[in-house]
Amino acid sequence: MGRLIKITQHVTIYAAWEDGADERENLGSDSIVEWHYLEDVATHLRAVGATEPSSSPYGGLHTWYSTEGYEHPYSGELEESSFHLDGLADDEARAIYTAVTNR
């Protein structure tokens, strides 16, 4: 096995839609830290639906976003996740980008 890469998942929770509201209320966020072998990172990102890389210079290829949030069927609360990869060299980040996006 290769080396381990730290993946921090940031989950933000939004309230259910209120009648007449322009946006959902932010109820807070939480972070979850996982470690994955370098060769398994792209598979993990695809499995959790994190297939959109950050377009900002700050996040670059080290930050990925879920393409769809999870809306709780009873409460209507929405969870959105981003995944932050720590400890990658630029060439490793580009390899993961290619493996996830097929571009």
Domain containing 88 equals: 4-101
Q: pLDDT tens digit string along 27-71?
A: 999 999 999 999 999 999 999 999 988 876 555 678 888 878 888
The number of domains in the chain is 1
Phi, psi of 76 (to 5 degrees): 80, 0
Cα–Cα distance, 30 to 33 (Å, whole number): 10
* Residue corresponding to tokens 């900002």: 56
Structural contact between residues 35 and 7, judged by C-beta atoms closer than 8 angstroms: yes
Residue 20 CA, chain-centre distance (Å), reads 29
Phi, psi of 43 (to 5 degrees): -65, -40
pTM, entire model: 0.82
